Amino acid sequence: MKAFTIVIVAVIAGGVATVLPSMVYYSSQFDRLQYTIVSETTDSNSVPVIFENATNLTNNPMDSVYGQVAAWDNNVYMLWQDSVPPGYTNYDIFIKTSNDNGTTFGTTVNLSNNPGFSEHPQIATHGNNVYAIWADDSSGNREVLFTRSQDKGISFESISNLSNNTSDSFNQEIAVFGDDVYVVWLDRGENGDTNILFRASADGGATFGNTVDVSNNANEETFPKVAAYEGNVYIAWNVIDETIVDIGDSENQGLFFVTSLDGGNNFGDIMTLNQENDFGELQVAAYNETVYVVAGGLHTVSANGLFFAASTDAGSSFSEPVSIDESGTFVNPLNVEVGAYDDQFSYIAAQVSVSGNEEILLIEMDGNDSTRVMNLSNNPKISECPSIAMAGDNIYVVWEDMTPGNHEILYAKGSRA
């Protein structure tokens, strides 16, 4: 087995090629040219993003999966689930914190640390506060559990149960703005009905209000998402019925969106964003009154490109959706994530097949136009499930990767030059 070095080259605005720092793995085969990163397009008016080398954040023999990232000022928080002894068939939720813009990270902390199966963690931060949620079956059914830190991740408070019912609660997401914390999840009752449920906190997660039933138009392939800016809350989700061949045959499936302008106390009418094209899991992000919605495929839905739509009036209306590169580059993009840099620029991370391998691509959006695509993982094994966060001019992307020999959490830090 021989060592190899991955050389990352990013073509930035003006056509200048910049060699990024390399990362070293071990493999018996390596084609250096195959893993060179180049931009798909260049735009002289956009700001180049330069990424450093990818870092193995977990670097252990366990199964480390579903990495998530959040950032505020100089603080970066990495959350993931890890298999634990004995047997390594159960999973707990772990976190690492950086106080120097992601340059170094502190010790690993086990947040869940219980005999139940803890999965699909989500994280959000604002100021000194850090919030983490995940699904856990310690009670006998999956519940949405929550904890917070008020000291930049140094310590975490006792865990609370947000769903707290006999239903199966999962596919949870969290958003925060100021002291307002919003959690949404999918809830499957004993009679087979599936609802999108929502809870809000106005005191930084100290207490939560009543559970709100946002919609009963959902199934197990539904992934509700939430974003927030000031008092506005945005929830988006997907519904697909595999028994319906043509999406247009049912008004109950598609991509859906709803807005609250009063911190989640009241929601407006549900809007259908798309019923004509392929669709799957989506994501939503917000900055001021600009809202971005992006969607890729699912294991049951093959999407010819990325669905992208934006609103500039706090979700009252959306631009005509665009499909980003449906000519073949984005073949069934999965696990898409979107981050709002401002009211003009956004960044999309997606798991995409590149030359037969799953890679993590980062797409820069200027309004409705993609200006640059970069391959962040760029290695010989499967890379999947990205997460993206931004603080200032720094962009953080984290994903799970098989290149080290087992599932590890890798992350790359970029900056707008």
206-220, 231-245, 280-294, 403-417: the lowest-pLDDT one: 231-245
Alpha-carbon span 269 to 124, nearest angstrom? 27
Instruction: Give the up-direction half-sphere exposure of residue 190: CA atoms within 13 A in the CB hemisphere.
Output: 3
Provide the b/e sequence for 170-204 (b: ≥16 CB within 10 Å): bbbbbbbbeebbbbbbbbbeeeeebbbbbbbbbeb
In sequence order, what are the beta bridge partners of 388?
A: 397
pTM, two decimals, is 0.88
Alpha helices in 60-101 (DSSP H): none
Query: Given pLDDT bands bounded at 50, 70 and 90, which one contains residue 275?
Result: low
Looking at residue 102, its pLDDT comes to 96
Structure tokens at 94: 């772990």
Three-state DSSP class for residue 167: coil
Using one digit for the tens of pLDDT, what is the confidence trace for 300-336? 788 888 999 999 999 999 999 998 886 778 878 999 9
Alpha-carbon span 414 to 67, nearest angstrom? 17
Q: Which residues contact 16 (CB under 8 A, 6 or more apart)?
A: none
Using one digit for the tens of pLDDT, what is the confidence trace for 159-170? 999 999 999 999
Residue pair 76/106 in contact by the 8 Å Cβ criterion: no
Structure tokens at 297: 């495929």
Alpha-carbon span 152 to 43, nearest angstrom? 37
Alpha-carbon span 24 to 1, nearest angstrom? 13
Sole residue written with tokens 């037969």: 356
In sequence order, what are the beta bridge partners of 270?
A: none
Structure tokens at 227: 């974003």
Average pLDDT, the chain: 86
Q: Quick one: which H or E segment has residue 3? A: strand 2-11
Three-state DSSP class for residue 259: strand
Query: Quick one: which of 309, 286, 312 has its CA closest to 368?
Result: 309
Alpha-carbon span 327 to 159, nearest angstrom? 47
Using one digit for the tens of pLDDT, what is the confidence trace for 47-68? 678 898 899 999 999 999 999 9
DSSP category for residue 32: G
Average pLDDT over residues 130-134: 98
Structure tokens at 85: 């002894």
Query: Quick one: which of 176, 177, 144 has its CA closest to 159?
Result: 144
Using one digit for the tens of pLDDT, what is the confidence trace for 363-377? 999 999 998 899 999
Spell out the domain ranges in the chain: 55-416
CA distances for 359 relative to 279, 376, 380, angstroms: 20, 8, 9
Looking at residue 329, its pLDDT comes to 80
Amino acid sitting at position 341: Y
The dihedrals phi and psi of 32, each to the nearest 5 degrees, come to -60, -40
The dihedrals phi and psi of 198, each to the nearest 5 degrees, come to -145, 140
Is residue 14 pLDDT above 60, yes or no? Answer: no
The dihedrals phi and psi of 91, each to the nearest 5 degrees, come to -130, 145
CA distances for 200 relative to 204, 209, 211, 236, 324, angstroms: 10, 6, 8, 16, 34
Alpha-carbon span 93 to 224, nearest angstrom? 21
The dihedrals phi and psi of 35, each to the nearest 5 degrees, come to -110, 20
Structure tokens at 211: 């559970």
Question: Percent of the chain having pLDDT more than 70?
Answer: 85
Three-state DSSP class for residue 311: strand
The CATH number for 55-416, chosen from 3.40.109.10, 3.40.1160.10, 1.10.3720.10, 2.120.10.10, is 2.120.10.10
CA torsion sign for 15, 17, 20, 22 is: positive
